[in-house]
Chain A
């Protein structure tokens, strides 16, 4: 390395120095250049976020710092920890650094712990690998660590196995392992992506606390710009294996000079962003990392690309006084002659032309006091019932024509069970489900079959929900065939459906594997539309997609709704997405709706303490706002639906309950609050509902 001497001089106080790191993997298609040169330095106590979409090389960068890439990977450049070169170390030498100087927190806490060893065993192992501690001392230190990361009653929980911990608890345990030996650097690879927002807020808090205690630098890998805004001092945006913008968090968020960062920021749905409007998608897909086109890799998707962009790839260079570095030929013009606002065109969405008054529109779906309980049984031959899982416990709502109704809540609150119950068109349930004016209980088999045409579904995972051995044309024709359409009509319908969702008629010949995630989700939507349904049930339809792609799919859904007069039942955990698409929203907690109403009202003046906590937990992609915000942190996890608390089911985690005087609190303990109207089209199930602005 010819540059290493000078770079060392300028960054003597940094703990981690990465210079011109390049990683490639051999594959059948050719050499995959996953990382094509990245530089950064991390100082103690500082947090650097690597931001980018799937395939941008951010996780590979993190993994290569830990030296955990597969042996086939070719790594060049320099990674220095306290001046010591790490590239080329043997596994034995590297393992003395891993877990001691560099701690790691992984994405999926459910699979990150060995299932057959107790939490304590694994934590003690992490300590004893690097320190000479006897068992008693190691155990004492492990208890200390578990207490530090906020595991309640660590003395009892230390001998629990991973499967006895919730996701949030496991991630706390993983953080405890990462900081066990006072590391200099903590690498967190999407540490909260698999968690609910309320748990995410808790875990991010723990991570910040861990940083304070150890004084470590954090390298945070994430796609979530909200998390970045709340955590990072420095931000590096990656695209196609290279940093395209790097600098202080505020500069990147407020004065980006690279169109990709600008596009990414404008594509993110924001919770604090006045109501329903079209999102700004970044058209196109990232390039293949095997065969990169000449010039700037973003040129094909860039609205301001000029000839030079297609010829030479821009260097990352300092573009303003704050030290922001951008890789764009036109960075000098951006913010001056080229305004950031409106750089990426926001499509015009058609407006609803039917009846605007909700009461005047026909009811598409009405659910009244829906209950779904599962028996909890034990025993092999003689099954005994030992309890009841109250997955859905008295749910009432209705959806009118042309309306998007969103169900939100943490995982385990009964959203999916509700969807499945409705799709089942049930016959034997308690309460009633009425679809298009027909009650499902009293329906004949033939009517039921007919009704299935009117209720269709789009699933979460666009990779898994399309049969990979069927061409797209057959996938779209299948529901038509099932419902007895003749060949000519099917033949005419398939291209029509494809163009409806923004694909080309000739795509019918291709197989799902030839499409990107966003395109596949469009195919999923086209399949749901095939039979001209009235109601579409959408189960987390965009949660598997990257931000820049997600915006396009949300816009498409909005457009189709107006064009075809559809109604949506939309289930999602991402409140910002819901803010952008929902007309009405219901917040679920432990099988019940705790707050329901017009989306605008619920989001701007939430009345139920749970809704308030949920909204307050959502991070905003805005560093200044994030610094000023006071979070309402919920304690603990969602209670088991097999063991619902008495009185108000939210009281065990309710921040308001804690502030009540004893005489008022007694009411929460004994009396189950009913849904009460707090305004026009706004109900809340809390004894002490009061509006609070939280965003």
Chain B
């Protein structure tokens, strides 16, 4: 098992390297940081602009391969360069990873647990009114863009007289640690709800269909023939087997949400990784974009390993 994971990890590392390299080349050629200076008033002299850019390893006159080499040697030493306004990319990334983690932590746990439970419950009640209603609602939510869900929640909140605050991480007027934490939690409610709605529908659909397969299985009948009640048999033998195929989907979705929750972050004013990806592209920020590329590729690596581990832990057939 250890050797298997190690081999997997080496494969993934090669993939991360390739993905990062490609991101840098695309960002380095498609983005034009020079525009940021040309649009300044008053416009600095060209020589100054090029000097400034060269200092940040962004000068278009330097061949892309050379810039790449500088960047790569920097990255290997933990230095991701500077953002377009001169901050450290690594520091900014650290801060934003923290914000994203806070935003996603609760949402993903709640989504995963409730998605599995809800899907299994629907499977047990297949074709009953509750299942039919869930199906319709799930597809409606799946077909709704995140923007619409988020804005609808905000509008609804406003219409109710704004019982829940949602702008930014916490109320700037709050004083004292406890008040700030509480206000922070209150601000989490609506974005968490948004993320939960999107994910729970997806997970529960998958869980429902794998559960339906299992409900027909012979071993469930064996479990009942042993003397387990229907409920015990379904929970101990059915659900335990039916979550296995859902796990990779769950793990990949949750982990890749780090850079994928763009709309939720922007609409609710959480300055996380997803928002950063969009703003850095808008700002022609080559170093930040490349860093996000490395980070996302790293996430894929982690997701792959975690999903392998979870799968092996749950299914003895893939061990050995």
Contacts and interface: CB of A to CB of B under 8 A. Distances in A.
Contacts of A487: none
A483 B230 CA distance: 56
B145 interface: no
A99 B221 contact: no
B228 interface: yes
B226 A161 contact: no
Contact of B229 (A91, A126, A177, A381): A91
A113 B237 CA distance: 10
B148 interface: no
Contacts of B237: 114, 117
B228 A129 contact: yes
Given A91-B230, A163-B317, A113 B219 contact: yes
Contact of A100 (B223, B227, B240): B227
A116 B314 contact: yes
Interface stretch (A103-111, A140-148, A352-360): A103-111
Contacts of A158: none
The majority secondary structure among interface residues of chain B is: helix
B67 to A, nearest CB: 32
A106 B221 contact: yes
A114 B225 contact: no
Given A163-B317, A381-B7, A381-B11, A114 B241 contact: yes
Given A91-B230, A114-B237, A115-B241, A380 B8 contact: yes
Interface residues of A, number: 37
B317 A115 contact: yes
A115 B214 CA distance: 11
A130 interface: yes
A281 to B, nearest CB: 32
Contact of A115 (B219, B221, B223, B232): B219
Nearest to B230: A91
A137 interface: no
B225 A68 contact: yes
A294 interface: no
A111 B222 CA distance: 9
A112 B219 CA distance: 4
Nearest to B231: A91
B125 to A, nearest CB: 12
A116 B247 CA distance: 15
Contacts of B228: 95, 99, 125, 129
Contacts of B227: 95-100, 126, 129-130, 181
Interface in B25-61: none
B3 to A, nearest CB: 10
B167 interface: no
Contacts of A180: 226
Contacts of B316: 115-116, 118, 161, 163
A66 interface: yes
A125 B222 CA distance: 12
Contacts of A130: 227
A95 B225 CA distance: 8
A174 interface: yes
B11 A380 contact: yes
Nearest to A102: B225
B217 interface: yes
Contacts of A178: 225
A499 B215 CA distance: 44
B244 interface: yes
Contact of B317 (A92, A113, A161): A161
Nearest to A104: B225
A504 to B, nearest CB: 37
Contacts of A177: 222, 226
Interface string B284-320: 0000000000000000000000000000001111000
B87 interface: no
Interface string B235-250: 0110011001000000
B221 to A, nearest CB: 6
Interface string A378-396: 0111000000000000000
Contacts, number: 87
Contact of B225 (A66, A96, A108, A381): A66
Question: Residue among B7, B226, B228, B317 with the most chain A CB within 10 A?
Answer: B226
Interface string A119-157: 000100110011000000000000000000000000000
Contact of A95 (B7, B8, B224): B224
Contacts of B225: 66, 68, 98-99, 103-104, 106, 178
B217 A111 contact: yes
A97 B227 CA distance: 7
B241 A113 contact: no
B240 A380 contact: no
Contacts of A92: 229
A381 B232 CA distance: 42
Nearest to B240: A116
A512 B95 CA distance: 65
A227 B230 CA distance: 33
B316 to A, nearest CB: 4
Interface string B1-20: 00000011001000000000
A97 B8 CA distance: 49
Contacts of B244: 116
Nearest to B229: A95
Interface in A513-533: none
A125 B229 contact: no
A112 B217 CA distance: 8
A114 B224 contact: no
A177 B223 CA distance: 10
A112 B229 contact: no
Contacts of B7: 379-381
A106 B222 contact: yes
B218 A106 contact: yes
A360 B224 CA distance: 63
Interface string A318-357: 0000000000000000000000000000000000000000
A108 B218 contact: yes
Contacts of B11: 380-381
A98 B241 contact: no
Contacts of A125: 226, 228, 236
B219 A111 contact: yes
B22 to A, nearest CB: 21
Nearest to A95: B229
Contacts of A96: 227
B219 A126 contact: no
Nearest to A379: B7
B308 to A, nearest CB: 11
Nearest to B241: A116
B107 to A, nearest CB: 29
A68 to B, nearest CB: 6
B218 A112 contact: yes
Interface in A51-102: 66, 68, 91-92, 95-100
Contacts of A111: 217-219
Interface in B147-198: none
Contacts of B8: 380
B234 to A, nearest CB: 11
A59 to B, nearest CB: 12
Contacts of A114: 219, 222-223, 237, 240-241
Going nearest first, the 4 A-B pairs with the smallest beta carbon separation are: A99-B227, A104-B225, A99-B226, A111-B218
Given A95-B232, A114-B219, 9 more contacts: A68-B221, A104-B222, A106-B218, A112-B218, A112-B219, A115-B317, A116-B240, A116-B316, A125-B226
28 contacts: A68-B224, A91-B229, A92-B229, A99-B225, A99-B226, A106-B222, A111-B218, A111-B219, A112-B218, A112-B222, A113-B219, A114-B219, A115-B219, A115-B241, A115-B316, A116-B241, A116-B314, A116-B317, A125-B228, A126-B227, A130-B227, A161-B317, A163-B316, A177-B222, A181-B227, A380-B8, A380-B11, A381-B7
Interface of A: 66, 68, 91-92, 95-100, 103-104, 106, 108, 111-118, 122, 125-126, 129-130, 161, 163, 174, 177-178, 180-181, 379-381
